[in-house]
Amino acid sequence: MLTINSLVHSYNGSAKIEYPDWQVEKSQHSVILGSSGSGKTTLLHLIGGLLQPSQGEVCLEGIDISKMSQSALDRFRGANVGIVFQKPHLVSSLTVIENLTLSQYLGKGKVDKGEAMKMMNQLDIRELQNRKVHQISQGQAQRVSIARALLNKPKLLLADEPTASLDDENCEKVIRLLKSQAELCDSTLIVATHDQRIKGELENTLVL
Partner 1 sequence: MNVFSLSLKNVVAKPLSSLLSVLLFGFGVSIIVIILLTSSFMKNEISKNAAGIDLVVGAKGSPLQIILASIFHIDFPTGNISLADANNLTRNRLITSAIPLSLGDSYRGYRIVGTTEKYVELYKAELKEGELFNTKMTAIVGSNVASILGLSLGDVLASDHGLSEGAGDHDENPYNVVGILKPSGSVIDNLVVTSIQSVWEVHGHDEGHEEQHLAEIKLEKLGVSVTEEQLAEEDITAIFLKYRSPMAAVQLPRIVNGTSNLQAASPPYETARLFNIIGVGVEVVNILGVVIIILSAISVFIALINSLKERKYELAIMRSMGARRAKIFVMILIEGLILTIIGSFFGFGLAHFGFGLIGVSVDQFDASALFFVEEEYFVLGGSMIVGIFASLIPAILAYRADISKTLAKG
Sign for the pseudo-dihedral over CA of 91, 175, 78, 46 = positive
* Of the candidates 4, 70, 69, the residue with the CA atom closest to the CA atom of residue 42: 4
Q: Of the two residues 79 and 177, which places its CB atom closer to partner 1 in the complex? A: 79
Q: Of the two residues 45 and 143, which places its CB atom closer to partner 1 in the complex? A: 45
Q: Of the two residues 70 and 169, which places its CB atom closer to partner 1 in the complex? A: 70
- Which helix (H) or strand (E) segment holds residue 184: the answer is helix 168-184
Q: Of the two residues 76 and 204, which places its CB atom closer to partner 1 in the complex? A: 76
Tell me how far, at minimum, the Cβ of 53 lies from partner 1, in Å.
Answer: 11
Q: Of the two residues 9 and 29, which places its CB atom closer to partner 1 in the complex? A: 9
Tell me how far, at minimum, the Cβ of 112 lies from partner 1, in Å.
Answer: 11
**Residues contributing to the site for partner 1 (CB under 8 A):** 41-42, 45, 48, 50-51, 70-71, 74-75, 77-79, 81, 83, 85-87, 89-94, 98, 101-103, 105-108, 111, 148, 152, 160
Tell me how far, at minimum, the Cβ of 87 lies from partner 1, in Å.
Answer: 6
* Of the candidates 47, 22, 23, 45, the residue with the CA atom closest to the CA atom of residue 208: 22
Tell me how far, at minimum, the Cβ of 91 lies from partner 1, in Å.
Answer: 5
Angle at CA of residue 124, ends 196 and 30, nearest 5°: 30
Tell me how far, at minimum, the Cβ of 171 lies from partner 1, in Å.
Answer: 20
Is residue 201 within 8 A of residue 179, CB to CB? The reply is: yes
Q: Of the two residues 24 and 90, which places its CB atom closer to partner 1 in the complex? A: 90
Rounded to whole angstroms, the Cα distance separating 83 from 146 reads 8
Question: In a 3-state reduction of DSSP, which class is residue 28?
Answer: coil
Do strands 55-60 and 2-10 pair parallel, antiparallel, or not at all (unpaired)?
antiparallel
Tell me how far, at minimum, the Cβ of 161 lies from partner 1, in Å.
Answer: 10
Backbone angles phi, psi at 39, to 5 degrees: 95, 20
